[in-house]
A and B are shown apart, each in its own frame.
Chain A
Amino acid sequence: MNKKVLSLITGAAIITAAFTGCQNSGTSSQTQSSTANSSTESSAAQESSQASSAEESSTVALSGTLSMNGSTSMEKVIKAVNGAFTEKYGVQVDLNLTGSGTGIKEASEGKCDIGNSSRALTDEEAQTLDATVIGIDGIAIVVHPTNEIADITIEDLAKIYAGEITNWKDLGGADKAIVVIGREDGSGTRDGFESIVMGDKTPQYAQELESTGSVISTVGNTDGAIGYASLANVDETVKALNVEGVAATEETVKSGEYKIQRPFICATLKDSDNELVKAYLDFILSPEGQELVVAQGAVSVN
């Protein structure tokens, strides 16, 4: 009896020790090796998936799909042109709207065929990409519909955005504090606005919003607000101000009388021999394509 019990105990002890021991050594060595493995494996997988997607996009493009990514401000214009392009040539166009920066980046990395940008390319970006200006956009200065002000000078606008003028009464309006609304750092619209209006002044925003639509809706809801947005996106919920006595319309943007304007750009790889890209750019610059651009509120380059 005693012996039996003792042997059972020792047996159990040996088994548990062996079990835990094996588990410990097993897991610790496994953890190390498999972590190393899985990280290298996954990075390899990532690379290969990237490579294959790049291959795919180029091969698929030849068989009839064009991929583009970029500016949200260009959405209306690009969508109208894409619809007509697909109808005319039977080529499918995949459009992503993630912003000018992403569009340019993906175009330069070959992840998409065309990168749409609502700002001029930087010198760095222009080393790998060709920029085709496909239209011009006026940047409208919008205020709440009840605002009495109808006209503003660029100088006053700069003062408002720099925080030097803080009340509408200083411009002959009602006694109401100005709420300065703009876009986030890096936005094409913001870059366009600031490079034209601000000069050396540093802007002091009350709200930095991350889309054209939020600027319009926030200005429409806030009675002391001022904001800027693509001319094409301005609707009846806000009031567009005349700048230096010139109303923001397609005619005044095209003639250059309206000062606050920026280019719409299709960025493509410099050494690209993609037939579809060429066909698309030819189409968008043709009278037919430019008509569509104009119909969406932007201004023709011709």
Chain B
Amino acid sequence: MEKASEYAATPAVKPKAASSIRSRRSGLTGIAERAMKYLFTLCGVTAVACVLMITIYMIISGAPAIGKIGILDFLFGDTWYAKNEQFGILPMILTSIFGTLGAILIGVPVGLFTAIFLAELAPKALKNIVKPAVELLAGIPSVIYGLLGAMLIKPLMYDLEEMIFANDPTHKFTGGANLASAIIVLAIMILPTIINISENAISAVPNEYREASYGLGSTKIQTIFKVVIPAAKSGIASGVVLGVGRAIGEAMAIILVAGNSANMPSLFSSVKFLTTGVVAEFAYSSGLHREALFGIGLVLFVFIMIINLVLNGILKSGKKKEAKAKK
């Protein structure tokens, strides 16, 4: 008897809730309840339908051109010159990969350290200035980053280029519009994403962890690197994932600083990203050229899908490991 009531103690809450739902499900409220349910379902379905429609549309409009050009010539051809119907996008694919990698290499350490500073080290007064500034940075439209890049970074890069390659007649001068400029702009653009998400993750680490670490005699910096960061690892990783997403999909900011000539990527050469290739040429293109731009769109689409899947996989396996470690 006693055992039974003990056993029932927790689930006993459920029947009460259920009966109250049942009583609410009558008359007008019942209709409203059902209507809202369908509304929510509809909203959920809209998102799925959009993804499906975009996927289908991209395949329908992108695949024919890839078929006509030949998938190997398209993906691994190294010349993009519409006039001669040469549509090889290997330089653009590599540029997108290296540009994003470069932005991550600069953006992640700076962003992570800023997040640590904000969450662990900054005096409150300073934090109150830096944090809103970072949040504001996230809201600035990408074209503004591009304009500033074109006005400030490009001339500096031109000077640097002239210094470095002064006696190199084989170097093709870009006037400062090159991969390095694009990487700098992208790195600044992904900073706020990485900072905000990492800072939240670091702040969410329970204080007991830090206290335990101090109790064992660690210094503040040791605690941060050995305890706090490992504990906030998955949050930081999702910040990086979102940063990669933002960097690889960006077009407006880098179109102004990348030079947009489809060369193989190197720091001081004019380059064309997958995104900027589509944006720059869409207006005047026609026929196979236009179809090929849809082909680029499809490649970019598949690219981002793959990156999302792989990174999500990494994140999930990381979380599973953590869960196991906790058990």
Kindly specify which of B126-134, B174-182, B186-194 makes contact with the partner chain.
Answer: B174-182
* Distance between Cα atoms of A179 and B177 in the complex (Å): 10
- Say whether A184 contacts B45, CB under 8 Å: no
Q: How many whole Å from A74's CB to the nearest CB in chain B?
A: 12
Q: How would residues 228 to 264 of chain B score, 1 for a CB under 8 Å from any chain A CB and 0 otherwise?
A: 0000000000000000000000000001000111000
Contacts of A8 in B (CB 8 A): 8, 12, 15
| A206 adjacent to B177 (CB under 8 Å) | yes
Interface flag for B227 (CB, 8 Å): no
Residues of B within 8 A of A210 (CB): 255, 260, 279-281, 283
- Given A42-B53, A206-B172, A225-B175, does the pair A12, B281 have CB atoms closer than 8 Å? no
Nearest to A202 among chain B residues (CB) is B81
Closest to A204 in B: B172
Q: Does A205 contact B (CB under 8 A)?
A: yes
- A218-B174 Cα distance, complex, nearest whole Å: 11
CB of A178 within 8 A of CB of B173, answer yes
Complex: how many Å from CA A168 to CA B212? 68
Contact with A along B161-186 (1 / 0, CB 8 A): 01001000101111111000000000
- Shortest CB-to-CB span from B55 to chain A, Å, is 11
Given the complex of chains A and B, what is the CA–CA distance between A26 and B15 in angstroms?
23
B18 in contact with A16 (CB, 8 Å): yes
How many angstroms from the CA of A210 to the CA of B255 in the assembled complex? Answer: 9
Q: Are B172 and A38 in contact (CB under 8 A)?
A: no
Residue ranges of A at the interface with B (Cβ–Cβ < 8 Å)? 1-2, 5, 8-9, 11-12, 15-16, 26-27, 30-31, 34-35, 38-39, 42, 72, 98-102, 104-105, 122, 124-125, 163, 166-167, 177-181, 184-188, 191, 194, 202, 204-210, 218, 221-222, 224-225
Q: Pick the contact of A9: B15, B82, B259, B281 (CB < 8 A).
A: B15
Nearest-neighbour CB distance to chain A for B106, whole angstroms, equals 23
Nearest-CB distance from B263 to chain A (Å)?
8
Question: Residues of B contacting A224 with CB < 8 Å?
Answer: 173, 175
Q: Across the interface, do A184 and B8 meet the contact criterion of CB distance under 8 Å? A: no
* A30-B45 in contact (CB<8A): yes
Whether A31 and B22, one on each chain, are in contact in the complex, defined by CB atoms closer than 8 angstroms, is no
A2-B4, A38-B49, A221-B155 known; A167+B169 contact, CB < 8 A = yes
Nearest CB in chain A: distance from B284 CB, A: 4
Interface residues on B, range: 35 or more
Chain B residues within an 8 Å CB radius of A42: 49, 53
In the complex the two chains form, what is the Cα distance from A179 to B45 in whole Å? 52
Q: Cβ of B84: which chain A residues have Cβ within 8 Å of it?
A: 202
Using A208-B272, A222-B158 as known contacts, say yes or no to A104 and B286 having CB atoms under 8 A apart. Answer: yes
Roughly how many angstroms separate A208 CA and B41 CA in the complex, as a whole number? Answer: 47
Which partner residue on chain A sits nearest B178 by CB separation?
A206
> Besides the contacts A5-B12, A205-B270, A209-B260, what 11 more A-B pairs have beta carbons closer than 8 Å?
A11-B15, A31-B45, A34-B45, A34-B49, A101-B283, A101-B286, A184-B281, A186-B285, A207-B174, A207-B261, A224-B173
B80 & A185 in contact (Cβ 8 Å cutoff): yes
Assuming the contacts A38-B46, A39-B49, A194-B83, asked whether A208 and B286 have C-beta atoms less than 8 A apart, the reply is no
Shortest Cβ-Cβ A-B pairs, 8 listed: A99-B283, A186-B284, A179-B175, A177-B173, A208-B260, A8-B15, A12-B15, A222-B175
| A124→B83 CA distance, assembly (Å) | 15
CB-based contact A100/B284 at 8 Å:
yes
Known contacts A5-B8, A185-B289, A191-B83; is A38 also within 8 Å of B45 by CB?
yes
Bound Cα distance from A63 to B195, whole angstroms: 58
Is A184 in contact with B259, judged by CB distance below 8 angstroms?
no
Q: A1-B5, A5-B5, A218-B175 are in contact. Are A186 and B286 (CB under 8 A)?
A: yes
- With most chain A CB atoms within 10 A of its CB, the pick from B19, B49, B260, B286 is B286
Alpha-carbon distance between A12 and B10 when the two chains are bound, in angstroms: 12
Known: A15-B22, A42-B53, A185-B83. A179 touches B173 (CB 8 A): yes
Q: Are A98 and B283 in contact (CB under 8 A)?
A: yes
Closest residue of chain A to B284 (Cβ to Cβ) is A186
- In the assembled complex, the CB of A262 is this many whole angstroms from the nearest CB of chain B, namely 13
- The complex places the Cα of A102 from the Cα of B201 at a distance, in Å, of 47
* Known A38-B46, A122-B287; contact A207-B177, beta-carbon cutoff 8 A: yes
Query: Which residues of the other chain, A, contact B11 by a CB distance below 8 angstroms?
Result: 9, 12
- Report the Cα distance A184→B255, complex, angstroms: 11
Q: Which residues of B contact A204 (CB under 8 A)?
A: 172, 261
10 contacts between A and B (CB under 8 A): A9-B8, A27-B44, A42-B49, A99-B283, A100-B284, A125-B286, A185-B81, A186-B281, A191-B83, A202-B81
How far apart are B213's CB and chain A's nearest CB, in angstroms? 44
Please indicate the chain B residues that have their CB under 8 angstroms from the CB of A207 in the complex.
174-175, 177, 259-261, 270
A35 touches B172 (CB 8 A): no
